[in-house]
Amino acid sequence: MKIRIVGLLAAASLILAFTFLASTHAAPNKTNTPATPATPSASALPAIPAAATPAEPHPEIREALEALRRAKGHMEHAAHDFGGHRVEAIEATNQAIKQLEICLKYDKD
């Protein structure tokens, strides 16, 4: 009985831990600027940042679009029809791609 309770608690703890890890987002990459040599004249001047590239808007949506396009290509080149389900999956993928493209258009307005 105690072993079963301990096992259930351990399983619940692992599930919560994996859920927490999966739900956290990684911090965006920061570009490293090269360090300037320490000279008396350089230390008196304010640091001028390198030409920073603006962060790409909605990288997750763009990654999803690329993944859907790759998946669609795999489905289109599949050797089997899978009882018509492949065609339906391609149509659903086309709809998902269309919806994500619409999302990006609304963001630009």
Angle (CA) 37 38 44, round 5°: 120
Q: Which band of pLDDT confidence, cut at 50, 70 and 90, is reported for residue 82?
A: confident
Cα distances (Å, whole numbers) of residue 96 to 19, 66, 71: 26, 11, 12
pLDDT at 84: 86
Q: Angle 59-76/85-108 helices, nearest 10 degrees?
A: 160
What's the predicted TM-score (pTM) here?
Answer: 0.48
Q: What is the mean pLDDT of the chain?
A: 74
Cα distances (Å, whole numbers) of residue 84 to 74, 87, 96, 98: 16, 6, 19, 22
pLDDT at 79: 86
Q: What six digits make up the tokens of 97? A: 């791609």
Residue 55 contacts residue 28 (beta carbons within 8 Å):
yes
Query: Residue 86 in 3-state DSSP?
Result: helix
Each residue's pLDDT tens digit, 32-79: 555 555 555 555 555 655 566 667 788 899 999 999 999 999 999 988
pLDDT at 63: 93
Q: Which of 29, 99, 104, 24 is nearest to 68 (CA)?
A: 99
Residue spans per domain, the chain: 57-109
